[in-house]
Amino acid sequence: MEYRTLGLSGLRVSAVGLGCMGMSHAYGAPADKREMTELLADAVEMGYTFFDTAEVYGTPDHPHHNEELLGEALHPYRNNIVIATKFGLRFDMPDAAGPHALIPDARPEIIRHRVEESLRRLCTDHIDLYYQHRIDPSIEPETVAEVMADLIREGKILHWGISETTEEYLRRAHRVCPVTAIQNRFSMMARWHEPLLPVREELGIGFVAHSPLANGLLTNRYTANSTFDPSTDYRASMPQYRPESFEKNRTLFSLLEQLAEEHRATASQISLAWMMNKRPPIVPIPGTRHLFRLKENIGATDIHLTDEEVNAIDTALDNMEISEVFGGSPIKK
């Protein structure tokens, strides 16, 4: 495994992280606890050091399932890993089928309550990287950043970040309390945050990519006949999984197959290597419930693309038809 430092922060993480949401939320019913505990231990053994969760990853009956799972499973390795979690979000109508509308809440008193709850569930005395899950339009970024600065001084968090940020919000927050990383949706199908890449380089901030495989589509595992349980699996309503989308994405799939053959790799590995070889590198956090996927994803670190190859892929993506892709749950106004 290779390792990266997020921006100028000094926070060192594995070049590929593990997004843990799907173990508990949005990709079917929660996975077996014993199996996921073993999988997390396997990940540590392989060299993964960067584990991503959030306080809202769970089910209506067990809303904080994921933090509790990681807190117990990763406790034996706590001193050797980086745990990132998130605050400032709740679901509208959580008992209904998802994707749920999101309700941001970044009031200072709420943040202070939530950090204590996350610390307890994660069985730790500090959070390595604490993200604002979504921007709360009713709270100024400076206010949130001041709370983060207080939590850092108190030792409850070591670093902070922002998920799905805009440039203006990032700059304003960063001036008050330096931001270690942003975590935004980014993949070959979702590139609308590319304008932030030079901004984060200018400010010395890391970029962590969630959904780097377009919610699994870029694994080349699925077909137009794939189905998902709409009561527990968000993919049932994601536009990239509509039957007609597979035809629209034929050129993209062909490109991935061609590059995979050239590099003796898989489609997933090419998708991850493409962003990991950008300058500065992006740290992807693909999720999985399967050991073979853990091994496959870590293998992307062995693929070294030149600047010319990365630019050629960008140009090809710019000039091909790509279907609509899930861009995240709506924010309730």
Instruction: Identify the pLDDT of residue 25.
Output: 94
Cβ neighbours for 23, distance < 8 A, ≥ 6 positions apart: 30, 31, 36, 39, 66, 69, 287, 289
C-alpha closest to that of 162 among 187, 142, 190: 142
Instruction: Identify the pLDDT of residue 329.
Output: 85
Tell me which of 84-98, 116-130, 226-240 is least confident: 84-98
| pLDDT, tens digit (0-9, with 9 covering 90-100), for 256-302 | 999 999 999 999 999 999 999 998 899 999 999 999 999 999 999 99
220 burial type by CB count under 10 A (0-12 exposed, 13-18 middle, 19+ buried): middle
| pLDDT, tens digit (0-9, with 9 covering 90-100), for 177-204 | 999 999 999 999 999 999 999 999 999 9
- Domains of the chain with bracketed CATH: 3-318 (3.20.20.100)
Give me the mean pLDDT over the 162-182 stretch: 98
Of the pLDDT bands very low, low, confident and very high (cuts 50, 70, 90), residue 333 is low
Q: For the beta carbon of residue 316, count every other beta carbon within 10 angstroms.
A: 15
Q: Is 152 in a helix, a strand, or coil?
A: helix
Give me the mean pLDDT over the 90-109 stretch: 81
Beta strands in 101-241 (DSSP E): 102-104, 127-132, 157-163, 181-185, 206-210
Tokens 């949706």 belong to residue: 185
Decide if 306 contacts 314 (C-beta within 8 A): no
| pLDDT, tens digit (0-9, with 9 covering 90-100), for 300-316 | 999 999 999 999 999 99
Instruction: Identify the pLDDT of residue 94.
Output: 63
Give the dihedral sign, CA 232/75/48/190. positive
Using the predicted structure, report yes or no on whether residue 249 has a pLDDT greater than 70: yes
Instruction: Identify the pLDDT of residue 100.
Output: 73
C-alpha closest to that of 45 among 84, 81, 83, 6: 81
Active site residues: 57
What is the rounded average pLDDT for all residues in the chain? 96
Using the predicted structure, report yes or no on whether residue 98 has a pLDDT greater than 70: no
Using the predicted structure, report yes or no on whether residue 26 has a pLDDT greater than 80: yes
Give me the mean pLDDT over the 81-103 stretch: 83
Instruction: Identify the pLDDT of residue 91.
Output: 84
Decide if 218 contacts 209 (C-beta within 8 A): no
Sequence-ordered alpha helix ranges (H) in 12-61:
33-46
